[in-house]
Amino acid sequence: MIPHRRRLAALAAATTLVLTGATAGVAYAEVPPDAPEQLRNGDFSAGTSPWFSYGTGDLTVVDGRLCTTVPGGLANPWDAGIGQDAVPLIAGAEYELSFDVSATPGAALKAVLQLGSAPYTTYASVDATATGTAQHVARTFTAPADNPGAQLVFQVGGSPAAQTFCLDNVSLRGGEAAPPYEPDTGPRVRVNQVGYLPGGPKNATVVTDATDPLPWQLRSAAGAVVASGASTPRGVDAASQQRVHTVDFSSFRTPGTGYTLVADGEASHPFDISGTLYDRLRVDSLQFFYAQRSGTPIDGGLIGAGYARPAGHLGVAPNQGDTDVPCQPGVCDHRLDVRGGWYDAGDHGKYVVNGGIATYQLLSAFERTKTAETAAGGGALGDGTLRVPERGNTVPDILDEARWELEFLLRMQVPAGQPLAGMAHHKIHDQNWTGLPLAPQDDPQPRELHPPSAAATLNLAAVASQCARLFAPYDAAFAARCGSAAKTAYAAAKAHPARYASPADGNGGGAYDDSNVTDEFYWAAVELWLTTGEQAYLTDLTASPLHTADVFAAGGAFGWQSVAALGRLDLATVPNALPAAEQSRIRTSVTAAADRYLATLGGQAYGLPLPGEAGAYVWGGNSNIINNAIVLATAFDLTRDARYRDGAVQAADYLLGRNALNMSYVTGWGEQNAHHQHSRIFAHQLDPDLPNPPDGSLAGGPNAALQDPYAANLLAGCQPMLCYVDDINSYSTNEVAINWNSALAWLASFLADQRDAAAVAAPTCAVTYTTHGSWPDGFNTQVIVRNTGTSAVDGWSLRWAFTGDQQVQSFWSARVSQSGATVTAKNEAWNAKIAPGGAVTFGLIGTTAGGPNPAPNLITLNGTACARS
């Protein structure tokens, strides 16, 4: 993922200034000339990072100085600022703050060292008057409190005239040099701290200097040795630079709790072996989305009293609301009601491109239940399976959750009659950055719509198309609304293909810029064709160079800025009318990518499908690991080859503790788990009255670029897999985000469906599904099921799912029922037995409002997949 945000810009509330040192008239504070420097890049020789600004123009370096423009007429000095976070202060230590400053035509400013979140307590401040000639300002002070993550802000607002401010040689000397950071990595034997599936792979990694194989023991909770063997030396792991061995205890399959693995004098964290390990993770990871909902009160009775809160951004003071939102100045003349949706990540912004891929993954997790044998028809994602207010409405709860975001995405579409009608606004968020913590209902910032973009519009087209086919059996009117919006959006994007989000549009929220939307066009065309069957969309998708390209990158198969693989995966799995040879080519491209990910996984001593170089460990990299695992899982669903399933399982091992930090990156899961993720809502680390993120929240993970000041100060020189800290201030390694949790939810659902991960049996049945006749609103289908096994079938139940709004109206030679899109056909008394080599035939007549009616990819007999004939 491209880094997208989370600068902790101060609101600088009007607090009483407590000045110390020379600024308070105490002249005897002395700072030795060799005192350590506490600021980074104060001479701007490395560009503008890690400096941030709010309420100003872009930061630029001009003649070695940091410069920016500030509009005139701002009401308060703190309405615009330039600053740096993660500034360490030690109570009682003496410091010197110094800087060179100029302003044209000239204005006052205040430099404030403060707590970077409410109540923005001031530790020291310096007033100065800047003119067109640079002047040097220096003050000493004694820090009144400890704070390893204070904030320095130059408040530059409040002048009646527009100004150009420039800073140089900004320095804060004093205190102590930061000691080397040593993370607590716990035992040197690294395992999946949650556990392993009985029939699945069971691997661990041991950090050791030993060069020869080491004996290992698997012990029960009572301490009995239940398995043993020897480790495999793996040398130095590239991503961590740790010398490691691996242990494979896959042959042990006995379920139990509290197992530990012992090697080289160390015992791992305890773990379980169970086929139900991931049932709750499926629910927890999806529950995250309800906790992130905007525009509705959160019911503590559903997810815990600590998470209850009033509705945010509905215009109730101090909110200015999302119900009547204007555009940024000069962008448009209309206002929109864009209430609802999910808060994107650690702030209160809502972004169509990130919302698009997150919604896609929830819808995809549900759509997979129509085509994957292990999904058992989708009962685990049905109505009543999640703790959401809509449960009990006969609609699968995962669709209810996705709808909360879909409604918001539809509201972001430019209305008819307006310029750029049909396109989607790229995002909505606060006018300026806010600090932590800040509950949604307490956000006082004005909200703004940002310009429409082709990327956002095509995201809307793609997920609204999914909506149209998946909601058709449950809410025909909503499905039709989605379908209409999708077609309108696609046409608008084709009319305005070069409208890109600006990379500079990052004040108050992430830019989410993307200047190449060929992948979005391909994805949207695929989804529209799968839903409508219209030739124009098939022409567009087959004409795209991406249709035959390798779209699965090694460092991340897909993400919000790279979505071609989403189209490829859906063409491979969603029933459609592509010729058989083309369908085979597409599916082969998925398994070929899965083979590459397996090869990568096999080369990593920690067993993850991600290359070991630093460039693979990026902002939100944990989601890239999961998305690669989703390709592996999809390859398993397509082929029933257990190698792919095992690869997806091992990716989960990494996320849940088998990594260099011995850290589970999922809140509430594992002995040592991330729970101080960067979030304004779940900020327990800053305010004990607030909760930690809810169980099932995924941290972004190691980021070798260290793109926030806290991580940069603490982790300088870290090896890629160790570039992570579980601290709320580290937004580039430890944020939460909807598109990361949507990936986790998809994978968790797949893992839960694997149960014991037993050996995959060969099919013992074959089905011929033939639609003999179609007319504008109906069809006639015949089904023949053959027993290809060696034992008689005595009583049969066939199951498959339609792709859209098809409904069974009549049937013969079987008892046929339908729930949603899922059809179940059961034997009559007279045809219950199917002898080896024998067959039975039945038929049905169905209705449809139009669109494609392809034969299903998956038909099961008594829960087991049948071959197609």
Task: Give the residues across from 114 on adjacent strands.
Answer: 122, 151
Rounded to the nearest angstrom, the gap between the alpha carbon of residue 601 and the centroid of all alpha carbons in its chain is: 21
Of 575, 491, 584, 493, nearest to 533 (Cα)?
575
CA separation for the pair 81, 54 (Å, rounded): 5
- Is residue 168 part of the annotated active site? The answer reads no
Q: What is the bridge-based pairing of β-strands 815-819 and 822-826?
A: antiparallel
**Other beta carbons less than 10 A from residue 35's beta carbon:** 19
Which runs of consecutive H residues, i.e. helices, occur in 370-475? Answer: 397-411, 454-470
- Is residue 828 part of the annotated active site? The answer reads no
**Other beta carbons less than 10 A from residue 257's beta carbon:** 12
DSSP state of 51: -
Q: Which residue reads 């918001």 in tokens?
A: 408
Q: Is residue 359 helix, strand or coil?
A: helix
Q: Which distant-in-sequence residues (6+ apart) come within 8 Å of 372 by Cβ?
A: 637, 750, 753, 858
| Inter-residue contact 124 to 113 (CB < 8 Å) | yes
Marked catalytic residue, from 96, 726, 753, 805: 726
Of 701, 735, 731, nearest to 718 (Cα)?
701
Q: What is the bridge-based pairing of β-strands 135-142 and 65-70?
A: unpaired
Q: Is residue 864 helix, strand or coil?
A: strand
Task: Give the residues across from 845 on adjacent strands.
Answer: 780, 810
Of 869, 866, 860, nearest to 369 (Cα)?
860
CA separation for the pair 279, 511 (Å, rounded): 36
Marked catalytic residue, from 383, 400, 735, 805: 735
In our burial notation (b when 16+ CB lie closer than 10 A, e otherwise), range 611-636 reads bbebebbbbbbbbbbbbbbbbbbbbb
Q: Is residue 151 helix, strand or coil?
A: strand
- Distances in Å between the alpha carbon of 33 and those of 174, 576, 852? 9, 73, 77
Cα dihedral across residues 586, 591, 594, 595: positive or negative = negative
Inter-axis angle of helices 621-639 and 738-753, to 10 degrees? Answer: 30
CA separation for the pair 781, 777 (Å, rounded): 14
Q: Which distant-in-sequence residues (6+ apart) come within 8 Å of 280 by Cβ?
A: none
Amino acid letter, 455: A
Q: Is residue 153 helix, strand or coil?
A: strand
Count Cα neighbours of 622 within 13 Å in the Cβ-side half-sphere. Answer: 36
The values of phi and psi at residue 273, to 5°, are -125, 115
Query: Per the structure block, which two tokens stand in for 859?
Result: 């038909």
- Distances in Å between the alpha carbon of 422 and those of 224, 338, 402, 456, 832? 66, 15, 21, 11, 54
The values of phi and psi at residue 863, to 5°, are 90, -5
| Inter-residue contact 676 to 728 (CB < 8 Å) | yes
Q: Is residue 628 helix, strand or coil?
A: helix
The values of phi and psi at residue 583, to 5°, are -60, -40
CA separation for the pair 7, 730 (Å, rounded): 10
CA separation for the pair 463, 406 (Å, rounded): 8
Of 532, 547, 558, nearest to 585 (Cα)?
547
CA separation for the pair 745, 168 (Å, rounded): 47
Marked catalytic residue, from 347, 373, 383, 570: 347
Length of the chain: 869
Marked catalytic residue, from 678, 695, 708, 805: 678
Query: Per the structure block, which two tokens stand in for 849?
Result: 């409002």
- Is residue 347 part of the annotated active site? The answer reads yes
Query: Per the structure block, which two tokens stand in for 637?
Result: 């669903």
Show which residues are catalytic.
347, 678, 726, 735
